[in-house]
Amino acid sequence: MSLIADCFRRLTNSSSCKSELKGYKVTDVSRTRKIGVACRNFQDLKRKACSKLNVSNDPAEVNVFLLDGSLIDEEYFRTLEPQTTLILQKPGEKVLSDADILYDALRRVNIDFLTAGDRVTQFLTENLKAKVALLNRVLNKDNSKTALSSRDEHPEWFEDLETNYMTKEAYMHRRCQDRIRTYLYKTIEQIKCSDVFMNDYKARQQLLRTIAFFKIQLKEDHYFGYYFDRSRAETDSKGDNDETDSGRCYEHCPCNFGRISDETYLRQRYIRLPQSSDTDAIVDSDTIDEIDARKFLEKNAKTANDEIPENCPYRVKSREKQIAICDKNGEFKCEGRWNMDGCSYSDRHKINPYRSKEELALFSTWNLDHKIERSRTLVPKLLQISQQDTINEQDIYDCYDNLFTVKNLRLVHIVCHDKGSHK
């Protein structure tokens, strides 16, 4: 390995070597066993978890997820609290979220316990997803503690939650951020697996700058955590809730992180370019990646204010309002299928995760659905425009809004979530 590459590796890893030793709980996709892992950084966690769970794959091939199915990376890992439970996924395995496990449990209960009589059997084995609506109707509708916010006031709401957050609002804010992060990671993954990214150098550079812009703009937008935060609900009066207040946020929010994390993210995630097919086989691929990374950073040096690289034409925008998609009590209503103006089930599809831990668990089955699809439409369009000689910056902003904002996202009950092609 060249001296330059060795220096680059030392630079990117120097901060992690001094990290504090923290403990986490790790399980496999089947969740049959859970182990404790003490580590200093994300790579250390993956290496030790693979060893303890007898995973023979290269740790670089292994993904790590939260229990709700959110994919995490090195930067996100640094924001997790100690003793968080993580799921290790080997290539080819499917991660079951808590919602998937709920459906699986319902199915097994239906088959093994409640199949008494032909009519009951038919009811429980047909259209299982619709039975979630039944669960919603039989939940405890006691509103006496819905308005309570803190852990001390409503301790049972926080029971079994792997979090130290002291308020419901802070927890819900983070849960929404996790969903938006997942869309970001899936977008990046699809881009990097594309032929355009791997084979078109010019388009790849444009895509890297676009990804960098998405990341920094999402930080500016608090990863839209306020969509689930009832303290940001719109009110009739024009008060503080209607206006952006970047100083009034939560400790876990990326808006409170130092800008150095953006550069670290660029180094460790965005600029590790794949080795081209015609590269000399005797050259170490990591060395090539690191040299490319060093050149990219030198060419796109950060400004004094740590803004986007100078040759990137996209500038971060501030939003005038931060409004939740629930009401001030925390109630959410289904917005209906992607091709409909509203929910055909009316008030039957509503939920308040602030009311009880049961409704909070059920809320994980609700989906933030893209009307214009991310994987089938938005990312292919982004790949297409990256190949143009001149990029219309409005196209990039529109793509960002369609990927991450309620311009194109709608909250839907599982029954109204159409996973087929949106045409």
Verify that 194 and 334 share a domain, yes or no.
yes
Verify that 106 and 154 share a domain, yes or no.
no
Verify that 46 and 166 share a domain, yes or no.
no
pLDDT higher than 50, residue 307? no
What CATH number has the domain bearing residue 53? 3.10.20.10
> Does the pTM exceed 0.75?
no
Report DSSP state, residue 223: G
Verify that 155 and 25 share a domain, yes or no.
no
Dihedral sign, Cα of residue 102, residue 76, residue 309, residue 188: negative
Mean pLDDT for the chain overall: 76
Report pLDDT digits (tens) over 73-97. Answer: 888 888 888 889 999 999 988 887 6
Chosen domain end from 90, 110, 130 = 110
172 contacts 359 by C-beta, under 8 angstroms: no
Least confident of 56-60, 93-97, 203-207: 93-97
CA atoms of 158 and 161, how far apart (whole Å): 5
234 contacts 323 by C-beta, under 8 angstroms: yes
Chosen domain end from 110, 131, 159 = 110
Verify that 396 and 342 share a domain, yes or no.
yes
Verify that 337 and 191 share a domain, yes or no.
yes
CA atoms of 157 and 151, how far apart (whole Å): 8
* Domain assignment of residue 283, yes or no: no
* Domain assignment of residue 196, yes or no: yes
Q: Where does 245-370 have alpha helices with state H?
A: 260-265, 285-299, 357-363
Terminal CA-CA length for the chain: 51
Question: Could you give the strand order of the β-sheet that contains 22-28, starting from the edge strand earlier in sequence?
Answer: 34-39, 22-28, 85-89, 63-65, 71-72
Verify that 88 and 164 share a domain, yes or no.
no
Which residue, 249, 240, 189, is CA-closest to 220? 249
* Domain assignment of residue 326, yes or no: yes
Report pLDDT digits (tens) over 409-422. Answer: 999 988 888 877 78
405 contacts 319 by C-beta, under 8 angstroms: no
* Domain assignment of residue 299, yes or no: no
Q: Where does 315-363 have alpha helices with state H?
A: 357-363
CA atoms of 129 and 113, how far apart (whole Å): 18
pLDDT higher than 90, residue 225? yes
Domain that holds residue 398: 148-234+310-422
Q: Where does 94-200 have alpha helices with state H?
A: 98-112, 118-125, 131-138, 155-158, 168-192, 195-199
Q: What is the pLDDT of residue 373?
A: 94
Which residue, 192, 228, 187, 94, is CA-closest to 373? 187
* Domain assignment of residue 116, yes or no: no
* Domain assignment of residue 136, yes or no: no
346 contacts 415 by C-beta, under 8 angstroms: no
Chosen domain end from 110, 137, 163 = 110
Report pLDDT digits (tens) over 362-380. Answer: 888 899 999 999 999 999 9
Q: How many domains are there within the chain?
A: 2
pLDDT higher than 80, residue 47? yes
Report pLDDT digits (tens) over 98-149. Answer: 656 655 554 444 444 344 444 444 544 555 555 555 555 555 467 889 999 9
Dihedral sign, Cα of residue 249, residue 253, residue 255, residue 260: positive
Verify that 31 and 158 share a domain, yes or no.
no
Verify that 173 and 89 share a domain, yes or no.
no
Q: What is the pLDDT of residue 161?
A: 83
Verify that 25 and 106 share a domain, yes or no.
yes
* Domain assignment of residue 221, yes or no: yes
Verify that 83 and 175 share a domain, yes or no.
no
244 contacts 319 by C-beta, under 8 angstroms: yes
pLDDT higher than 50, residue 54? yes
Q: What is the pLDDT of residue 291?
A: 40
376 contacts 422 by C-beta, under 8 angstroms: yes
8 contacts 290 by C-beta, under 8 angstroms: yes
Report DSSP state, residue 267: I
Q: What is the pLDDT of residue 143?
A: 82
* Domain assignment of residue 252, yes or no: no
Q: Where does 305-392 have alpha helices with state H?
A: 357-363, 379-385
Question: Which structure tokens are listed for 210?
Answer: 């676009």
Verify that 317 and 228 share a domain, yes or no.
yes
